[in-house]
Amino acid sequence: MPAQIFPPAASGGWGIRAENIVFVLVSPKNAGNIGAVARAMKNMGFENLRLVNPQPSSWLSAIQMACGAEDLLERAVVETSLEKALADINWIVGTTARSRRRYHKSISSPQQIAQAATSISQENKIAFLFGSEKCGLTTEEISLCHAVVTIPTRQDFCSLNLSQAVMVVAWELFKLRGGDERHKPNEQQQHHHEQPYQPRMASQEELQSLFLHLEQVLMEIEFITPENSRHMMLSIKELIRRRALTSREVKILRGILHKVQMHKDRVVPPLP
């Protein structure tokens, strides 16, 4: 598991902060699946559900499948775009059943992701993205993620129902929550997971502002052109996301970009 996927995380206390965990369903089509997801989340003690462009024509089966989690459905946040749904999120985990060769990212197991999320969640909001039942997450949606998780299954039959996938991930997170003594790790396990303090990472809103500013400056200095900007910016965004910048680091980079814009036309003598 490459180190850049998981930034250093908080110590001094055990247990995932459930209030900082958000489950995001992207273009879900089946109302029954949405209800079953709400039930799975409530079973595992998670309350934050966001729906991006949900497709159901009727929500009756969602209420039926929620089976006691109707309150979670009522509080679910509905957004028209993934960008809006992730604006306040600091760390994004995408879920996929596809081969890692399709993406330029390492694939982790739910257990590995849960261990990383335990300490990252102390100061940061984490979103777990789940794609539509038919197609899953797109390559562009995966590109937004800091980490990618795949649930191990048979290779010749790897597709899981949406609510099943949510339950597996939520279960791994639940085991590290600390609210149930039956699943609390012993002292040796707890000590093993303690890592250096992780300050608040930049939100997606902050990163998007940085990307727009960076693209503008790179255009001005002719490092990129209108013809290659999309391809180049995808690579640059991937590079920056791997670093998991903090809010302070984003401000520093934007300050540098401002200075570049102010002095880009000045003649600077060559270095000796």
Domain annotation for the chain: domains and CATH numbers: 3-193 (3.40.1280.10), 204-263 (1.10.8.590)
Q: How far apart are CA 100 and CA 143, in angstroms?
A: 13
What's the pLDDT score for residue 267?
A: 60
Q: How far apart are CA 169 and CA 10, in angstroms?
A: 21
Contact 89, 204 (CB under 8 A): yes
What's the pLDDT score for residue 3?
A: 39
Averaged pLDDT of the chain: 84
**54-113 confidence digits (pLDDT tens):** 988 889 999 999 999 999 999 999 999 999 999 999 999 999 886 555 555 678 899 999
* pLDDT band, residue 268 (cuts 50/70/90): low
Mean per-residue pLDDT, 213-231: 91
Contact 82, 144 (CB under 8 A): yes
Residue bearing the bigger pLDDT, 126 or 140: 126
What's the pLDDT score for residue 98?
A: 67
Which of 7, 1, 5 shows the shortest CA–CA distance to 200? 7
**What residue type is assigned to position 228 of the chain?**
N
Share of the chain above pLDDT 70, in %: 82
pTM of the model: 0.80
